[in-house]
Amino acid sequence: MIQHPNQKTIKKEASFAGIGLHTGNSSSLKFIPAPVNTGVIFIRKDLPGKPNIPATIDHVVGVVRGTTLGINGAQIHTVEHICSALLGLGIDNLLIEVDANEPPVADGSAKPFVEVLLSSGLLEQDQPKKILELIEPVIYKANETEIRIEPARNFSIHCQLIFNHPLIGKQEKFFQIDTETYIREIAPARTFCFDYEVEALKRKGLARGGSLDNAVVVGLDRIYNKEKKLRFEDEFVRHKILDFMGDFFLLGKTVLGKIDAIKVGHGHNINFVKELTKVGELAHGK
């Protein structure tokens, strides 16, 4: 019998501020400890009534260039980097007050959120985590994308990224996920886009807060960032794993399984998580 750890929150409040990646809005947030079985809830304190938006798959309302949560017209955009940090650190219960419709993008990775949360201290609570135990593999396929999870005694991800681009090409990475591996190998990987996408995104009202400070911009033969280099040789596929973990967090339960993922993106990630919520006959939700 596998022993599952208890739920976690943080020991004390912590704050973070910056601009939103897509909206360009100034944004500040506050992480607040929460009791067991609360889950993670975004609170739009800038709106009348301070609506609460649970970070669950049922509240996903958009997946264009990021994952958007919403309830009764109130929305919070681009939550995947924060949610990825929460999954990587094993945090189950948290209130996140936000004074805009998008959290700060920070440096385009999850590393700044990890650092802020760790500075608050992690607190183990007195109830076990909610577990989804798989009995059979669950497979999602759509065009060239395939995501598969099969039962395992731990949590691992093997991800393949394929771009017809000289600086990216095919990248793949496997990680057995634990907190230290996440902090060291996944959290620092930054979001990326191609130089020819930038103007098109801005015409669509996206990436208004994007800059070389918070995204890796890839040209045909160069990286445009001020450092002129990547944090990892395979930073692109690592960021895909980071994003996947953020979307996977919205399942709201801990899963032990081996994940194999090819050509993932937010829409596919969310559809895969929705498939996992349907497998009552294949899994036990505890």
pLDDT(203) > 80:
no
Higher pLDDT, 25 or 64: 64
Q: What is the pLDDT of residue 1?
A: 39
Q: What is the pLDDT of residue 282?
A: 47
Average pLDDT over residues 150-156: 94
102-106, 208-212, 268-272: which has the minimum mean pLDDT? 208-212
**What letter does residue 76 receive in the DSSP assignment?**
E
Name the nearest CA neighbour of 108 among 223, 12, 236: 236
pLDDT(218) > 90:
no
Average pLDDT over residues 256-270: 97
> In this structure, are residues 43 and 148 in contact, taking their beta carbons and an 8 Å threshold?
no
Please write down the HEC assignment for all residues of 174-225: EEECCHHHHHHHHCCCCCEEEHHHHHHHHHCCCCCCCCCCCCEEECCCCECC
Pinpoint the alpha helices (H) of the chain: 80-89, 111-120, 179-181, 195-203, 235-248, 266-277
In one letter, which amino acid is 275?
E
> In this structure, are residues 65 and 22 in contact, taking their beta carbons and an 8 Å threshold?
yes
> In this structure, are residues 11 and 119 in contact, taking their beta carbons and an 8 Å threshold?
no
Task: Using a pLDDT cut of 90, give the percent of the chain over it.
Answer: 72
Residue 178 is encoded by which pair of tokens? 């634990």
pLDDT digits (tens, 9 = 90+) for 74-99: 999 999 999 999 999 999 999 999 99
> In this structure, are residues 251 and 155 in contact, taking their beta carbons and an 8 Å threshold?
no
Q: pLDDT-based confidence at 71, cuts 50/70/90?
A: very high
Higher pLDDT, 207 or 137: 137
Considering the chain, what is the average pLDDT of its residues?
Answer: 90
Residue 81 a catalytic site member = no
Q: Which domains does the chain have, with CATH numbers?
A: 6-128 (3.30.230.20), 131-285 (3.30.1700.10)
pLDDT digits (tens, 9 = 90+) for 173-192: 999 999 999 999 999 999 98
> In this structure, are residues 266 and 239 in contact, taking their beta carbons and an 8 Å threshold?
no
Q: Which of 239, 266, 268, 284 is catalytic?
A: 266
Higher pLDDT, 122 or 4: 122
Average pLDDT over residues 252-259: 94
Task: Using a pLDDT cut of 70, give the percent of the chain over it.
Answer: 89
Average pLDDT over residues 100-120: 95
Higher pLDDT, 212 or 46: 46
pLDDT(266) > 70:
yes
